Amino acid sequence: MGGNLAKRNADLLIVGLNHRSAPVEVRERLAFNNGTLEPALRRLVDTETVREGMILSTCNRVEIITSTADVAAADVRVKEFLAETQGASRAAFEEHLYTRSGKDALVHLFRVAASLDSLVVGEPQILGQVKDAYAAATEVGTLGEILHRCFHKTFAVAKRVRSETRIAAKAVSVSSAAVELARSIFDHLHDKTAMVIGAGEIGELAVRHLQNHGIGKVLVTNRTYSRAVELAQEFNGTVVPFEQFPAHLPNADIIIGSAGGNDYLVGPTIVQEALRGRKRRPMFFIDLGVPRNFDPRLNDIENIFLYDIDDLQQVIEENKDEREREAQKAEAIVAEEVESFWQWLSGLEVTPTIVALREKAEAIRQRELERVFAALKELPPHAQKAIEALSLGIVNKLLHPPIAYLKSTSRNGETDNAREVAVVRRIFGLDNDSE
């Protein structure tokens, strides 16, 4: 757990688990599915221990993000909340939990939204999921000044990471790498036709990436016709019966194979006929199948470009290396932004004490002035003003050292601000009602 668990006026606490700390059977046990999130949020916030709260629940993580004045008590409260709400014993999941508080919580939150803590670094989905969780908590009303400001900063940090680094510039999935490869060969895709053979998960992702990059037309074919229809309808594509796809090859500039089976689906004879049908314009084959869908002898045919999954893996590994390099730049941005936000949060810790110090000093000054002026009734106005100015100057000079000290601890974002504040309050008797 980062930092200590001392009480502060305002602190952050995150309790959660993710794809690295817990297996999927534990993650799904604690996941908040449709219809369960809103009532859970209402139970989470009790205004005493957990002042503000948000729940981030995705396939890879479940995290409870809170604002609290007592991190230790909130830690216990959140774990009990998870057990009660999800109907699980703490023993079933507690060993998989991580807890982050103070600055560590802020670092964690910024890294999650910037996709630095994701299974695939740089993937874009997590930021949308954080925004959805924020919207749900806002709708239910479980956020206050601290978390509202914290999440606005979180979104700004994620945007800055995207705009100032190339962390998401290169594809790191087989399907996206295939489409990226196609884009590197053709200047643009809007006037090209792609045929996707196989409508499984990889085929679906390929269609999605093709459409995201503006492909002109998509032909979908699959051994199970109904699945091809389903995928084509979802992405506004055209269905081609599986047994007829060779006849449609002349229309395709890009052919992506992801079908199952032990035999090649496309061999040199079929491709030679397709080339004649398209006046020998180039064709780009991407084989995502294992076993392979396309006969490797296609590479020997002029104007045919064939890449298999090993070729793409090389592209992916190169892209991963680039993402790792960019991630280091992103970590520096996160560290800078954490300091900025922590100064604001630490300021909340000292501001009430500074205000109380000024108010007490002013009250004393006014009482002493009244006593002096009551004793010196003949004092002319210009002398009264001189005494008032003198008293104000003395008070300001006396208050300057403690106020400067409190502000400096705030600027430094020290984790033991609460202790420093307590010392100042005791020295000046700020919590003594008799003063």
In the three-class reduction of DSSP (H, G, I as helix; E, B as strand; rest coil), residue 63 is classed as strand
Residues facing 56 on adjacent strands: 63
Instruction: Decide if 59 is catalytic.
Output: yes
The set of residues, in sequence order, having a beta carbon less than 8 Å from that of 226 and lying 6+ positions away, is none
Distances (CA, A) of 235 to 99, 124, 125, 231, 257: 42, 20, 19, 6, 18
Task: Please report where in the chains the tokens 């957990």 appear, as a residue.
Answer: 50
Q: Are 216 and 247 in contact (CB under 8 A)?
A: no
106/103 Cα distance (integer angstroms):
5
Dihedral of the alpha carbons of 336, 340, 343, 346, in degrees to the nearest 10: -90
CB hemisphere CA count around 275 (13 angstroms): 17
CA angle centred on 338, ends 5 and 108, rounded to 5° = 65
Sheet architecture: strand order including 52-57: 52-57, 61-70, 7-18, 98-101
Residue among 24, 59, 119, 290 flagged as catalytic: 59
Q: Are 217 and 193 in contact (CB under 8 A)?
A: yes
- What are the E-state strand segments in 198-332? 217-221, 238-239, 254-257, 283-287, 304-308
Q: Are 77 and 46 in contact (CB under 8 A)?
A: yes
Q: Are 308 and 287 in contact (CB under 8 A)?
A: yes
323/120 Cα distance (integer angstroms):
10
Dihedral of the alpha carbons of 168, 169, 173, 174, in degrees to the nearest 10: 180
Task: Please report where in the chains the tokens 């219809």 appear, as a residue.
Answer: 35
> Could you write out the DSSP letters of every residue in 9-34?
EEEEEEEEEETTTS-HHHHHHH---T
CA angle centred on 252, ends 248 and 258, rounded to 5° = 90
Q: Which residues are catalytic?
A: 59
